Amino acid sequence: MKSGSMKRHSLGLLAIAATFAIAGCHSFKKENIQPPTPLPDHFKPTVQVEKLWSNSVGEGAGDSGARLRPTVVDGVLYADSTDGKLVAMDAVSGKKLWSKSSKTHGWFGWGDKKRPDAFYAGGPAVSGDLLAVGTLDGHVYGINAKDGSPRWDATLNSEVLASPLIDGGLVLVRTQDGRVYGLDAGTGERRWVYDQGSVPLLSLRGNGALLAANGVVFFGTDDGKLVALREDNGEKLWEQKLSTGEGRTDIERLNDADNGILLDGTTLYGSAYHGNLVAIDGPSGRPLWAHQFSTTDGLAVNGNAIFAVNDESQVWAFDKNSGSDIWKNDALKYRWVTGPAVQGNYVVVGDLEGYVHWLQTGDGALAATKRLSRKAIRAQPLVVGDIVYVEDVEGRIGAYRLSAR
């Protein structure tokens, strides 16, 4: 890893700690950090939640700052960990189907060079029988999704904190130094690379997932932009600013927009830290509306609403056609909840104490709470069918289904 990249990553970690964002521990003894809102003592849930199973994969994200999130394809859940574990589980029962470990001889891979350590990060991507996963030391591995056997290895310039995306014969990957790569899905060979040219030295740690649709790749940048690239060659089509990056201090000028992009019909929705929640016409890149909103997390859409969590851990709902407020919930303020997911008629988030919460989509009222573990949940929950999957920072994964009362 290049020294410039390492310097930027260190600054990113400092920025997160200073802004109380996702990575690291929160010390509520400090005067300038608000304690989490207590959960109600005598709360009565209005929806019943059934825990189907829980299982674990390695040591999870640990202290890396990565937001490890599983993926589910064709009834199989795939998950990874930064200590080199990769597993496939039955998505309904949690039973392990196969498990692989790349750990051999420490960080530098001393010893067997044919099987170096892989510090997986960002979560795996799966399409057909191909699994692609990135690492903290700048590799992307192509793996057989049926049994975990290796296929190819691509070396990039910086760590991969976001899940790759497999689409159109390409494995699309973004790295922490601001580059986006198009790799051949069959061989891992580099087809193209898009380079922003420069990225802020001070930035929140982490990257949102790429989005591909109709031959175009969309992503948010560390300097507050939403960018559209041609998928076949990486050429930039357009960009839009989601945040101005203005402020008196370096912390106030942080304006990352790499929280993940949503596509609903032909409309894109993106957001930025110290910036705006923005709706953009996908084909043209023309802004449709903007609402001032600061967030470090992904978004969710359901019906006519966009759901988001702001930088004080308040959960919001906005009208997706106009950007106007629908509701705001303060019950989880300063609990540093994850980005939202939608399960039926409920918004699902995890928090820093290992709780999972369900809020009604109609009015934001807290409907149910379950505890997965005593460790922080930082990755956005994943909803597939009628099941939501949640993972904490130590690799504990829980599967939950809503039940009739």
Domains of the chain, by residue range, sit at: 3-26+67-340
> Burial code of 145-165, b = ≥16 C-beta within 10 A, e = fewer?
beebeebbebebbbbbbbbbb
Closest C-alpha among 5, 28, 6, 24 to residue 14: 24
Report whether pLDDT(66) > 50.
yes
Report whether pLDDT(53) > 50.
yes
399 vs 372: CA distance, rounded Å: 9
**Is 3-26+67-340 assigned to CATH 1.20.1250.20?**
no
Helix (H) or strand (E) holding 13: helix 3-18
Selected residue with higher pLDDT from 276 and 171: 171
pLDDT of res. 122: 81
* Amino acid letter, residue 247: G
373-397 pLDDT, tens digit per residue, is 999 999 999 999 999 999 999 999 9
333 vs 152: CA distance, rounded Å: 44
Q: Which of 190-204, 222-236, 305-319 has the highest mean pLDDT?
A: 305-319
81 vs 222: CA distance, rounded Å: 25
Q: Kindly indicate the confidence band of residue 220, based on its pLDDT and cuts at 50, 70 and 90.
A: confident
Q: Kindly indicate the confidence band of residue 405, based on its pLDDT and cuts at 50, 70 and 90.
A: low
pLDDT of res. 266: 94
9 vs 194: CA distance, rounded Å: 20
Closest C-alpha among 318, 322, 391 to residue 354: 391
Cβ–Cβ under 8 Å, residues 96 and 60: no
Report whether pLDDT(67) > 70.
yes
Tokens of 61: 């994200």
Report whether pLDDT(326) > 50.
yes
pLDDT of res. 273: 77
Q: Where are the alpha helices (DSSP H) in 251-319?
A: none
Residue 396, CA distances (Å) to 54, 100, 110, 192, 340 in order: 7, 17, 29, 36, 19
Report whether pLDDT(237) > 80.
yes
Selected residue with higher pLDDT from 245 and 60: 60
